[in-house]
Amino acid sequence: MEDLQKLLLHDHGLSVSTLPEKGRCLFTTREYSPGISRFLNLHPSVVASKWVNRGLDNRSKCVPLKTDTIKRYYETVKSRCDWCFTSSNVKRCSSCQVVWYCGSKCQTSDWKVHRLECQLLAKLEKNRIKSLTPSIRLMVKLYLRRKLQNEKVIPTSVTDNYNLVKDLVSHISEVEEMQLVLYAQMASLVNIILQWSTLNIKEIAENFSKLACNAHTICDSELIPLGTGLYPVISIINHSCSPNSVLVFEGRIATVRAMQTIPKGSEVLISYIETAGSTMTRQKALKDQYFFICSCPRCIKLGEHDDIEESAILEGYRCKNDTCNGLLLRDLESKGFKCQQCGIVREKEEIVKIASEEKTISNKASVALSSCHNKEALDMYLMVEKLQMKLCHSYSINLMRTRETLLKILMELQDWKKALTYCRLTIPVYERVYPKFHPLRGLQYYTCGKLEWLLGYTDEAIKSLTQAVDVLRITHGTNTSFMKDLIAKLEEAQAEASYKLSSMDD
Protein backbone atom coordinates (compact mmCIF):
# COMPACT_ATOMS: atom_id res chain seq x y z
CA MET A 1 0.00 0.00 0.00
CA GLU A 2 2.94 2.34 0.68
CA ASP A 3 4.17 1.98 -2.91
CA LEU A 4 0.64 2.59 -4.21
CA GLN A 5 0.38 5.73 -2.09
CA LYS A 6 3.63 7.06 -3.55
CA LEU A 7 2.51 6.32 -7.12
CA LEU A 8 -0.92 7.90 -6.68
CA LEU A 9 0.55 10.98 -5.02
CA HIS A 10 3.39 11.49 -7.50
CA ASP A 11 1.66 10.57 -10.78
CA HIS A 12 -1.99 11.37 -10.13
CA GLY A 13 -2.28 13.89 -7.30
CA LEU A 14 -4.28 11.41 -5.22
CA SER A 15 -4.03 9.86 -1.79
CA VAL A 16 -5.64 6.83 -0.13
CA SER A 17 -7.06 7.37 3.35
CA THR A 18 -9.02 5.07 5.65
CA LEU A 19 -12.09 6.37 7.44
CA PRO A 20 -13.86 4.35 10.18
CA GLU A 21 -17.33 4.75 8.64
CA LYS A 22 -16.29 4.17 5.01
CA GLY A 23 -13.07 2.17 4.87
CA ARG A 24 -10.57 3.13 2.17
CA CYS A 25 -11.21 6.37 0.30
CA LEU A 26 -9.48 8.23 -2.52
CA PHE A 27 -8.78 11.94 -1.98
CA THR A 28 -7.33 14.61 -4.25
CA THR A 29 -4.09 16.33 -3.32
CA ARG A 30 -4.62 19.03 -5.97
CA GLU A 31 -7.55 20.60 -7.76
CA TYR A 32 -9.11 18.75 -10.69
CA SER A 33 -11.02 20.42 -13.52
CA PRO A 34 -14.01 18.77 -15.22
CA GLY A 35 -13.37 16.60 -18.25
CA ILE A 36 -9.83 17.71 -18.99
CA SER A 37 -8.35 16.07 -15.91
CA ARG A 38 -8.17 12.28 -15.60
CA PHE A 39 -7.60 10.96 -12.10
CA LEU A 40 -6.69 7.47 -13.22
CA ASN A 41 -6.01 5.54 -16.40
CA LEU A 42 -5.58 1.88 -15.45
CA HIS A 43 -5.32 -1.52 -17.09
CA PRO A 44 -7.30 -4.38 -15.50
CA SER A 45 -5.85 -7.15 -13.39
CA VAL A 46 -8.02 -9.61 -15.33
CA VAL A 47 -10.86 -9.40 -17.85
CA ALA A 48 -13.32 -11.76 -19.51
CA SER A 49 -15.40 -10.86 -22.55
CA LYS A 50 -19.14 -11.38 -22.50
CA TRP A 51 -21.47 -12.99 -24.94
CA VAL A 52 -23.56 -9.95 -25.70
CA ASN A 53 -26.89 -9.68 -27.43
CA ARG A 54 -26.79 -6.16 -28.72
CA GLY A 55 -30.52 -5.71 -28.39
CA LEU A 56 -33.17 -4.13 -26.27
CA ASP A 57 -31.84 -5.32 -22.92
CA ASN A 58 -28.67 -3.26 -23.43
CA ARG A 59 -28.70 0.51 -23.21
CA SER A 60 -27.49 0.89 -26.79
CA LYS A 61 -27.50 4.46 -28.10
CA CYS A 62 -26.34 4.10 -31.68
CA VAL A 63 -28.40 4.88 -34.76
CA PRO A 64 -27.38 5.08 -38.43
CA LEU A 65 -25.67 8.34 -39.29
CA LYS A 66 -26.76 10.36 -42.27
CA THR A 67 -23.64 9.52 -44.24
CA ASP A 68 -23.77 5.83 -43.32
CA THR A 69 -25.46 3.05 -45.20
CA ILE A 70 -28.72 2.54 -43.32
CA LYS A 71 -28.48 -0.85 -41.72
CA ARG A 72 -30.19 -2.82 -39.02
CA TYR A 73 -29.92 -1.18 -35.64
CA TYR A 74 -29.66 -4.47 -33.81
CA GLU A 75 -27.23 -7.22 -34.48
CA THR A 76 -26.75 -10.39 -32.50
CA VAL A 77 -23.19 -10.56 -31.24
CA LYS A 78 -22.44 -14.06 -30.02
CA SER A 79 -18.78 -13.56 -29.28
CA ARG A 80 -16.09 -10.95 -28.84
CA CYS A 81 -12.34 -10.85 -28.95
CA ASP A 82 -11.09 -11.64 -25.46
CA TRP A 83 -8.46 -8.90 -25.68
CA CYS A 84 -9.94 -5.90 -27.52
CA PHE A 85 -13.67 -6.82 -27.34
CA THR A 86 -14.35 -6.32 -31.04
CA SER A 87 -17.01 -8.56 -32.56
CA SER A 88 -15.64 -8.22 -36.11
CA ASN A 89 -13.86 -11.14 -37.78
CA VAL A 90 -13.46 -13.11 -34.57
CA LYS A 91 -12.41 -16.75 -34.59
CA ARG A 92 -12.27 -19.40 -31.90
CA CYS A 93 -8.95 -20.40 -30.45
CA SER A 94 -8.15 -23.52 -32.48
CA SER A 95 -7.09 -25.46 -29.40
CA CYS A 96 -9.64 -24.79 -26.63
CA GLN A 97 -12.51 -23.76 -28.93
CA VAL A 98 -13.83 -21.52 -26.13
CA VAL A 99 -12.03 -18.18 -26.33
CA TRP A 100 -12.31 -15.89 -29.36
CA TYR A 101 -9.76 -13.52 -30.90
CA CYS A 102 -9.92 -11.09 -33.81
CA GLY A 103 -6.39 -11.85 -34.96
CA SER A 104 -2.87 -12.91 -34.05
CA LYS A 105 -1.99 -9.54 -32.47
CA CYS A 106 -4.64 -9.82 -29.76
CA GLN A 107 -4.02 -13.53 -29.27
CA THR A 108 -0.30 -12.85 -28.81
CA SER A 109 -1.04 -10.05 -26.31
CA ASP A 110 -3.12 -12.49 -24.24
CA TRP A 111 -1.00 -15.57 -24.84
CA LYS A 112 1.01 -15.78 -21.62
CA VAL A 113 -2.18 -16.22 -19.58
CA HIS A 114 -4.27 -17.93 -22.23
CA ARG A 115 -1.57 -20.51 -22.95
CA LEU A 116 -2.27 -22.01 -19.52
CA GLU A 117 -6.00 -21.37 -19.66
CA CYS A 118 -6.18 -22.95 -23.10
CA GLN A 119 -4.62 -26.21 -21.89
CA LEU A 120 -7.11 -26.39 -19.03
CA LEU A 121 -10.18 -25.58 -21.13
CA ALA A 122 -9.22 -28.08 -23.82
CA LYS A 123 -9.40 -30.87 -21.21
CA LEU A 124 -12.75 -29.75 -19.82
CA GLU A 125 -15.87 -31.84 -20.44
CA LYS A 126 -18.51 -30.30 -22.71
CA ASN A 127 -21.10 -30.07 -19.94
CA ARG A 128 -18.58 -28.09 -17.86
CA ILE A 129 -17.89 -25.74 -20.77
CA LYS A 130 -21.56 -24.69 -20.72
CA SER A 131 -21.10 -23.51 -17.12
CA LEU A 132 -18.23 -21.17 -17.98
CA THR A 133 -19.68 -17.76 -17.09
CA PRO A 134 -17.56 -14.59 -17.40
CA SER A 135 -17.17 -14.59 -13.60
CA ILE A 136 -15.78 -18.11 -13.54
CA ARG A 137 -13.37 -17.39 -16.38
CA LEU A 138 -12.35 -14.20 -14.57
CA MET A 139 -11.55 -16.19 -11.43
CA VAL A 140 -9.57 -18.83 -13.34
CA LYS A 141 -7.55 -16.12 -15.06
CA LEU A 142 -6.98 -14.34 -11.73
CA TYR A 143 -5.32 -17.46 -10.28
CA LEU A 144 -3.37 -18.14 -13.46
CA ARG A 145 -2.10 -14.59 -13.44
CA ARG A 146 -1.07 -14.89 -9.79
CA LYS A 147 0.84 -18.09 -10.64
CA LEU A 148 2.63 -16.45 -13.57
CA GLN A 149 3.52 -13.39 -11.51
CA ASN A 150 4.89 -15.58 -8.70
CA GLU A 151 7.00 -17.42 -11.27
CA LYS A 152 8.20 -14.07 -12.75
CA VAL A 153 6.78 -15.00 -16.16
CA ILE A 154 4.77 -11.80 -16.20
CA PRO A 155 5.71 -8.74 -14.15
CA THR A 156 3.94 -7.37 -11.11
CA SER A 157 3.45 -3.66 -10.62
CA VAL A 158 2.19 -1.27 -7.99
CA THR A 159 -1.27 -1.32 -9.62
CA ASP A 160 -1.24 -4.99 -10.69
CA ASN A 161 -0.49 -7.56 -8.03
CA TYR A 162 -2.48 -10.12 -6.05
CA ASN A 163 -2.03 -8.25 -2.76
CA LEU A 164 -4.44 -5.62 -4.11
CA VAL A 165 -7.05 -8.36 -4.54
CA LYS A 166 -6.40 -9.56 -1.00
CA ASP A 167 -7.14 -6.04 0.28
CA LEU A 168 -10.60 -5.93 -1.36
CA VAL A 169 -13.62 -6.22 0.93
CA SER A 170 -15.73 -9.37 0.39
CA HIS A 171 -18.70 -8.78 2.76
CA ILE A 172 -18.81 -12.58 2.94
CA SER A 173 -20.38 -12.51 6.41
CA GLU A 174 -23.33 -10.53 5.05
CA VAL A 175 -24.02 -12.73 2.01
CA GLU A 176 -27.25 -14.76 2.10
CA GLU A 177 -27.02 -18.53 2.42
CA MET A 178 -28.32 -19.28 -1.09
CA GLN A 179 -25.67 -16.99 -2.57
CA LEU A 180 -22.97 -18.65 -0.44
CA VAL A 181 -24.01 -22.02 -1.84
CA LEU A 182 -23.71 -20.61 -5.36
CA TYR A 183 -20.24 -19.21 -4.61
CA ALA A 184 -19.20 -22.63 -3.26
CA GLN A 185 -20.43 -24.34 -6.45
CA MET A 186 -18.59 -21.82 -8.60
CA ALA A 187 -15.44 -22.25 -6.51
CA SER A 188 -15.71 -26.02 -6.95
CA LEU A 189 -15.81 -25.60 -10.74
CA VAL A 190 -12.74 -23.34 -10.61
CA ASN A 191 -11.00 -26.03 -8.57
CA ILE A 192 -11.96 -28.69 -11.14
CA ILE A 193 -10.59 -26.52 -13.96
CA LEU A 194 -7.29 -25.63 -12.28
CA GLN A 195 -6.68 -28.96 -10.48
CA TRP A 196 -4.10 -27.49 -8.10
CA SER A 197 -3.60 -29.32 -4.82
CA THR A 198 -2.79 -26.07 -3.02
CA LEU A 199 -6.10 -24.37 -3.83
CA ASN A 200 -8.38 -23.32 -1.01
CA ILE A 201 -12.05 -23.53 -2.10
CA LYS A 202 -13.13 -21.30 0.77
CA GLU A 203 -10.71 -18.59 -0.44
CA ILE A 204 -12.02 -18.92 -4.00
CA ALA A 205 -15.62 -18.57 -2.77
CA GLU A 206 -14.66 -15.46 -0.84
CA ASN A 207 -12.97 -14.07 -3.95
CA PHE A 208 -16.25 -14.56 -5.84
CA SER A 209 -17.89 -12.42 -3.18
CA LYS A 210 -15.16 -9.84 -3.75
CA LEU A 211 -15.87 -9.91 -7.49
CA ALA A 212 -19.58 -9.32 -6.87
CA CYS A 213 -18.76 -6.13 -4.97
CA ASN A 214 -15.69 -4.94 -6.86
CA ALA A 215 -15.66 -6.13 -10.50
CA HIS A 216 -16.74 -3.68 -13.19
CA THR A 217 -18.77 -4.15 -16.35
CA ILE A 218 -16.55 -2.90 -19.18
CA CYS A 219 -18.59 -0.87 -21.68
CA ASP A 220 -17.84 0.82 -24.96
CA SER A 221 -18.27 4.57 -25.50
CA GLU A 222 -22.02 4.11 -25.97
CA LEU A 223 -22.28 2.13 -22.72
CA ILE A 224 -22.87 -1.21 -24.41
CA PRO A 225 -21.50 -4.00 -22.13
CA LEU A 226 -18.45 -5.76 -23.54
CA GLY A 227 -16.97 -7.73 -20.68
CA THR A 228 -16.12 -7.91 -17.00
CA GLY A 229 -12.91 -6.64 -15.45
CA LEU A 230 -11.27 -6.36 -12.06
CA TYR A 231 -9.57 -3.02 -11.34
CA PRO A 232 -8.52 -3.15 -7.66
CA VAL A 233 -7.32 0.47 -7.50
CA ILE A 234 -10.58 1.74 -9.03
CA SER A 235 -12.40 -0.28 -6.36
CA ILE A 236 -10.96 2.05 -3.72
CA ILE A 237 -13.22 4.83 -5.02
CA ASN A 238 -16.43 5.12 -3.01
CA HIS A 239 -20.00 5.63 -4.16
CA SER A 240 -22.24 8.68 -4.14
CA CYS A 241 -25.67 9.17 -5.73
CA SER A 242 -24.35 12.69 -6.46
CA PRO A 243 -20.90 11.75 -7.79
CA ASN A 244 -18.23 14.27 -8.71
CA SER A 245 -16.52 11.84 -11.11
CA VAL A 246 -17.39 9.26 -13.75
CA LEU A 247 -15.86 5.93 -14.70
CA VAL A 248 -15.69 5.15 -18.43
CA PHE A 249 -13.67 2.69 -20.48
CA GLU A 250 -11.39 3.16 -23.45
CA GLY A 251 -11.04 -0.42 -24.63
CA ARG A 252 -9.62 -2.33 -21.65
CA ILE A 253 -8.44 0.83 -19.91
CA ALA A 254 -10.57 2.22 -17.07
CA THR A 255 -10.57 6.02 -16.96
CA VAL A 256 -11.92 8.20 -14.15
CA ARG A 257 -12.73 11.82 -15.03
CA ALA A 258 -13.96 14.75 -12.97
CA MET A 259 -17.51 15.87 -13.84
CA GLN A 260 -17.11 19.11 -11.91
CA THR A 261 -14.32 21.14 -10.35
CA ILE A 262 -13.01 19.10 -7.43
CA PRO A 263 -11.00 21.10 -4.90
CA LYS A 264 -7.81 19.86 -3.29
CA GLY A 265 -8.54 17.58 -0.33
CA SER A 266 -11.91 16.35 -1.65
CA GLU A 267 -12.95 12.70 -1.90
CA VAL A 268 -13.25 11.24 -5.40
CA LEU A 269 -16.74 9.71 -5.78
CA ILE A 270 -18.38 7.73 -8.57
CA SER A 271 -21.78 6.04 -8.80
CA TYR A 272 -22.04 2.26 -8.46
CA ILE A 273 -25.68 2.06 -9.57
CA GLU A 274 -28.33 3.57 -11.84
CA THR A 275 -29.07 6.86 -10.07
CA ALA A 276 -32.39 7.58 -11.80
CA GLY A 277 -34.83 6.53 -9.10
CA SER A 278 -36.17 7.35 -5.68
CA THR A 279 -33.95 7.34 -2.61
CA MET A 280 -35.57 4.12 -1.38
CA THR A 281 -34.94 2.41 -4.74
CA ARG A 282 -31.29 3.48 -4.77
CA GLN A 283 -30.78 2.47 -1.14
CA LYS A 284 -32.22 -0.99 -1.79
CA ALA A 285 -29.98 -1.51 -4.83
CA LEU A 286 -26.88 -0.52 -2.84
CA LYS A 287 -27.81 -2.63 0.18
CA ASP A 288 -28.60 -5.72 -1.92
CA GLN A 289 -25.38 -5.70 -3.96
CA TYR A 290 -22.84 -3.64 -2.01
CA PHE A 291 -24.01 -4.08 1.60
CA PHE A 292 -24.04 -0.46 2.69
CA ILE A 293 -26.46 2.40 3.17
CA CYS A 294 -25.53 5.54 1.29
CA SER A 295 -25.30 8.82 3.20
CA CYS A 296 -24.66 11.14 0.25
CA PRO A 297 -26.37 14.56 0.04
CA ARG A 298 -29.31 13.01 -1.85
CA CYS A 299 -29.79 10.03 0.45
CA ILE A 300 -29.71 11.92 3.76
CA LYS A 301 -32.96 13.57 2.65
CA LEU A 302 -34.80 10.24 2.85
CA GLY A 303 -38.25 10.80 4.35
CA GLU A 304 -38.11 14.58 4.06
CA HIS A 305 -40.95 16.38 2.28
CA ASP A 306 -38.97 17.11 -0.90
CA ASP A 307 -37.73 13.51 -1.08
CA ILE A 308 -41.27 12.12 -0.67
CA GLU A 309 -42.54 14.40 -3.43
CA GLU A 310 -39.68 13.45 -5.77
CA SER A 311 -40.37 9.76 -5.15
CA ALA A 312 -44.07 10.32 -5.91
CA ILE A 313 -43.16 11.93 -9.23
CA LEU A 314 -40.57 9.35 -10.32
CA GLU A 315 -42.30 6.19 -9.10
CA GLY A 316 -45.82 7.21 -8.09
CA TYR A 317 -49.10 8.03 -9.81
CA ARG A 318 -50.60 10.91 -11.77
CA CYS A 319 -53.69 12.98 -11.15
CA LYS A 320 -56.83 11.63 -12.87
CA ASN A 321 -57.53 15.18 -14.08
CA ASP A 322 -55.88 15.30 -17.53
CA THR A 323 -55.27 19.05 -17.27
CA CYS A 324 -53.40 18.69 -13.97
CA ASN A 325 -49.77 17.60 -13.64
CA GLY A 326 -49.83 17.30 -9.87
CA LEU A 327 -48.26 14.51 -7.85
CA LEU A 328 -50.23 12.07 -5.69
CA LEU A 329 -49.60 11.19 -2.06
CA ARG A 330 -51.50 8.76 0.16
CA ASP A 331 -54.64 10.22 1.71
CA LEU A 332 -55.25 8.68 5.15
CA GLU A 333 -58.91 9.67 5.28
CA SER A 334 -60.00 8.16 1.95
CA LYS A 335 -57.25 5.48 1.81
CA GLY A 336 -56.67 6.60 -1.76
CA PHE A 337 -54.15 8.99 -3.31
CA LYS A 338 -54.71 12.73 -3.22
CA CYS A 339 -53.39 15.17 -5.81
CA GLN A 340 -51.22 17.77 -4.09
CA GLN A 341 -52.12 20.37 -6.72
CA CYS A 342 -55.87 20.16 -7.35
CA GLY A 343 -56.98 18.01 -4.40
CA ILE A 344 -58.74 15.28 -6.41
CA VAL A 345 -58.57 11.85 -4.75
CA ARG A 346 -57.81 8.80 -6.87
CA GLU A 347 -59.20 5.54 -5.52
CA LYS A 348 -56.74 2.77 -4.70
CA GLU A 349 -58.92 0.18 -6.49
CA GLU A 350 -58.71 2.13 -9.76
CA ILE A 351 -54.91 2.32 -9.54
CA VAL A 352 -54.60 -1.39 -8.71
CA LYS A 353 -56.79 -2.33 -11.69
CA ILE A 354 -54.79 -0.28 -14.21
CA ALA A 355 -51.46 -1.41 -12.72
CA SER A 356 -52.50 -5.07 -12.93
CA GLU A 357 -53.54 -4.71 -16.58
CA GLU A 358 -50.31 -2.85 -17.39
CA LYS A 359 -48.17 -5.56 -15.76
CA THR A 360 -49.94 -8.36 -17.67
CA ILE A 361 -49.48 -6.69 -21.05
CA SER A 362 -45.91 -5.66 -20.20
CA ASN A 363 -44.97 -9.29 -19.45
CA LYS A 364 -46.46 -10.44 -22.77
CA ALA A 365 -44.65 -7.63 -24.61
CA SER A 366 -41.36 -8.67 -23.06
CA VAL A 367 -41.85 -12.26 -24.24
CA ALA A 368 -42.68 -11.08 -27.76
CA LEU A 369 -39.62 -8.87 -27.80
CA SER A 370 -37.27 -11.59 -26.58
CA SER A 371 -38.67 -13.80 -29.38
CA CYS A 372 -37.82 -11.05 -31.93
CA HIS A 373 -41.49 -10.49 -32.79
CA ASN A 374 -40.90 -6.75 -33.02
CA LYS A 375 -44.16 -5.64 -34.61
CA GLU A 376 -46.19 -7.63 -32.09
CA ALA A 377 -44.03 -6.25 -29.27
CA LEU A 378 -44.47 -2.72 -30.63
CA ASP A 379 -48.27 -2.97 -30.50
CA MET A 380 -48.18 -4.28 -26.95
CA TYR A 381 -45.69 -1.70 -25.70
CA LEU A 382 -47.89 1.02 -27.18
CA MET A 383 -50.71 -0.40 -25.06
CA VAL A 384 -48.39 -0.39 -22.03
CA GLU A 385 -47.50 3.24 -22.72
CA LYS A 386 -51.19 4.18 -22.97
CA LEU A 387 -51.94 2.56 -19.60
CA GLN A 388 -48.85 4.13 -17.98
CA MET A 389 -49.94 7.55 -19.23
CA LYS A 390 -53.20 7.01 -17.33
CA LEU A 391 -51.38 5.68 -14.29
CA CYS A 392 -48.03 7.45 -13.97
CA HIS A 393 -46.73 10.99 -13.66
CA SER A 394 -45.28 12.43 -16.88
CA TYR A 395 -41.78 12.21 -15.30
CA SER A 396 -42.27 8.57 -14.30
CA ILE A 397 -39.20 6.33 -14.60
CA ASN A 398 -41.37 3.41 -15.74
CA LEU A 399 -42.94 5.51 -18.50
CA MET A 400 -39.47 6.68 -19.56
CA ARG A 401 -38.22 3.06 -19.76
CA THR A 402 -41.24 2.05 -21.86
CA ARG A 403 -40.57 4.90 -24.25
CA GLU A 404 -36.90 3.91 -24.46
CA THR A 405 -38.02 0.43 -25.46
CA LEU A 406 -40.43 1.84 -28.05
CA LEU A 407 -37.61 4.02 -29.40
CA LYS A 408 -35.38 1.03 -29.86
CA ILE A 409 -38.06 -1.15 -31.47
CA LEU A 410 -38.92 1.65 -33.89
CA MET A 411 -35.25 1.99 -34.79
CA GLU A 412 -35.08 -1.75 -35.40
CA LEU A 413 -38.10 -1.37 -37.70
CA GLN A 414 -36.41 1.68 -39.29
CA ASP A 415 -39.35 3.96 -38.52
CA TRP A 416 -37.09 6.94 -37.95
CA LYS A 417 -39.78 9.64 -37.57
CA LYS A 418 -41.63 7.82 -34.81
CA ALA A 419 -38.29 6.88 -33.23
CA LEU A 420 -37.38 10.57 -33.08
CA THR A 421 -40.74 11.37 -31.50
CA TYR A 422 -40.07 8.92 -28.68
CA CYS A 423 -36.46 10.01 -28.28
CA ARG A 424 -37.64 13.59 -27.81
CA LEU A 425 -40.24 12.43 -25.25
CA THR A 426 -37.46 10.93 -23.09
CA ILE A 427 -35.22 14.02 -23.10
CA PRO A 428 -37.12 16.06 -20.43
CA VAL A 429 -37.07 13.06 -18.08
CA TYR A 430 -33.35 12.49 -18.68
CA GLU A 431 -32.75 16.15 -17.89
CA ARG A 432 -34.63 15.76 -14.62
CA VAL A 433 -33.17 12.48 -13.35
CA TYR A 434 -29.55 12.78 -14.53
CA PRO A 435 -27.11 15.59 -13.67
CA LYS A 436 -25.91 17.92 -16.41
CA PHE A 437 -22.71 16.00 -17.15
CA HIS A 438 -23.99 12.41 -17.08
CA PRO A 439 -22.98 10.11 -19.95
CA LEU A 440 -26.50 8.72 -20.41
CA ARG A 441 -27.87 12.23 -20.81
CA GLY A 442 -25.18 13.05 -23.36
CA LEU A 443 -25.80 9.84 -25.28
CA GLN A 444 -29.54 10.53 -25.47
CA TYR A 445 -28.82 13.96 -27.00
CA TYR A 446 -26.49 12.11 -29.38
CA THR A 447 -29.24 9.68 -30.45
CA CYS A 448 -31.67 12.54 -30.93
CA GLY A 449 -29.18 14.52 -33.02
CA LYS A 450 -28.36 11.60 -35.30
CA LEU A 451 -32.03 10.87 -35.92
CA GLU A 452 -32.71 14.54 -36.64
CA TRP A 453 -29.83 14.72 -39.09
CA LEU A 454 -30.90 11.48 -40.75
CA LEU A 455 -34.36 12.97 -41.30
CA GLY A 456 -32.97 16.23 -42.67
CA TYR A 457 -33.68 18.43 -39.64
CA THR A 458 -30.23 19.99 -39.79
CA ASP A 459 -30.78 22.92 -37.39
CA GLU A 460 -32.33 20.67 -34.75
CA ALA A 461 -29.52 18.14 -35.26
CA ILE A 462 -26.88 20.81 -34.67
CA LYS A 463 -28.54 21.79 -31.40
CA SER A 464 -28.79 18.18 -30.17
CA LEU A 465 -25.28 17.19 -31.28
CA THR A 466 -23.89 20.35 -29.64
CA GLN A 467 -25.60 19.36 -26.39
CA ALA A 468 -24.13 15.86 -26.77
CA VAL A 469 -20.60 17.21 -27.30
CA ASP A 470 -20.93 19.58 -24.32
CA VAL A 471 -21.72 16.64 -22.03
CA LEU A 472 -19.61 13.86 -23.51
CA ARG A 473 -16.40 15.91 -23.80
CA ILE A 474 -16.52 16.04 -20.00
CA THR A 475 -17.32 12.35 -19.44
CA HIS A 476 -15.39 10.85 -22.37
CA GLY A 477 -12.68 13.44 -23.06
CA THR A 478 -12.00 14.54 -26.64
CA ASN A 479 -9.26 12.19 -27.83
CA THR A 480 -11.20 8.93 -28.24
CA SER A 481 -12.26 7.78 -31.71
CA PHE A 482 -15.89 7.98 -30.57
CA MET A 483 -15.60 11.64 -29.61
CA LYS A 484 -13.57 12.54 -32.70
CA ASP A 485 -16.31 10.98 -34.82
CA LEU A 486 -19.04 12.83 -32.91
CA ILE A 487 -17.28 16.18 -33.25
CA ALA A 488 -16.70 15.50 -36.98
CA LYS A 489 -20.41 14.78 -37.45
CA LEU A 490 -21.32 18.03 -35.69
CA GLU A 491 -18.91 19.97 -37.90
CA GLU A 492 -20.34 18.25 -40.98
CA ALA A 493 -23.89 19.23 -39.94
CA GLN A 494 -22.77 22.81 -39.29
CA ALA A 495 -21.11 22.95 -42.72
CA GLU A 496 -24.29 21.63 -44.32
CA ALA A 497 -26.39 24.27 -42.55
CA SER A 498 -23.94 27.00 -43.60
CA TYR A 499 -24.08 25.79 -47.22
CA LYS A 500 -27.89 25.82 -47.21
CA LEU A 501 -27.88 29.35 -45.77
CA SER A 502 -25.43 30.63 -48.39
CA SER A 503 -27.46 28.98 -51.16
CA MET A 504 -30.57 30.80 -49.97
CA ASP A 505 -28.68 34.12 -49.98
CA ASP A 506 -27.58 33.49 -53.58
Q: Say how far apart CA 88 and CA 82 lie, in whole Å.
A: 12
Provide the 3-class DSSP secondary structure of residue 229. Answer: strand
Which residue type, as a one-letter code, is found at position 430? Y
Note down pLDDT in tens along the chain; length 506 residues: 788 999 998 888 999 999 988 899 999 999 999 976 677 888 888 888 864 333 333 333 223 333 332 232 333 446 899 999 999 999 999 999 999 999 999 999 999 999 999 999 999 988 888 888 889 999 999 999 999 999 999 999 999 999 999 999 999 999 999 999 999 999 999 999 999 999 999 999 999 999 999 999 999 999 999 989 999 999 999 999 999 999 999 989 999 999 999 999 999 999 999 999 999 999 999 999 999 999 999 999 999 999 999 999 999 999 999 899 999 999 888 789 999 999 999 999 999 999 999 999 999 999 999 999 999 999 999 999 999 999 999 999 999 999 999 999 999 999 999 999 999 999 999 999 999 999 999 999 999 999 999 999 999 999 999 999 999 999 999 989 999 999 999 999 999 888 887 777 65
CA angle 492–498–499, rounded 5-degree value: 90
Q: What's the confidence (pLDDT) of residue 42?
A: 87
Enter the pTM of the model.
Answer: 0.89
CB–CB of 486/468 below 8 Å? yes
The Cα–Cα gap between 420 and 416 comes to 6
Q: Looking at 397-490, which runs of residues are DSSP E strands?
A: none
Q: At what angle do helices 439-454 and 481-505 cross, to 10 degrees?
A: 40
- b/e map 14-46, b = 16+ CB within 10 Å: beeeeeeeeebbbbbeeebebbebebbebebbb
> How far, in Å, CA of 139 to CA of 47, rounded?
9
- Tell me the C-alpha distance between 110 and 172, whole Å: 31
DSSP tag of 69: P
Residue 44: in which H helix or E strand, if any?
A: none
* Positive/negative CA dihedral, 332, 335, 339, 345: negative
3-state SS of 260-316? CCECCCCECEECCCCCCCCHHHHHHHHHHHHCCCCCCCCHHHCCCHHHHHHHHHHHC
Tell me what pLDDT residue 55 has.
Answer: 31
Neighbours of 449 (CB within 10 A): 28
Residue 62 and residue 446: Cα distance in Å, rounded?
Answer: 8
Task: Decide if 223 contacts 439 (C-beta within 8 A).
Answer: yes
∠ CA 402-407-409, nearest 5°, is 95
Taken in order 186, 191, 192, 194, is the CA torsion positive or negative? positive
Whole-angstrom distance, CA of residue 235 vs CA of residue 168? 8
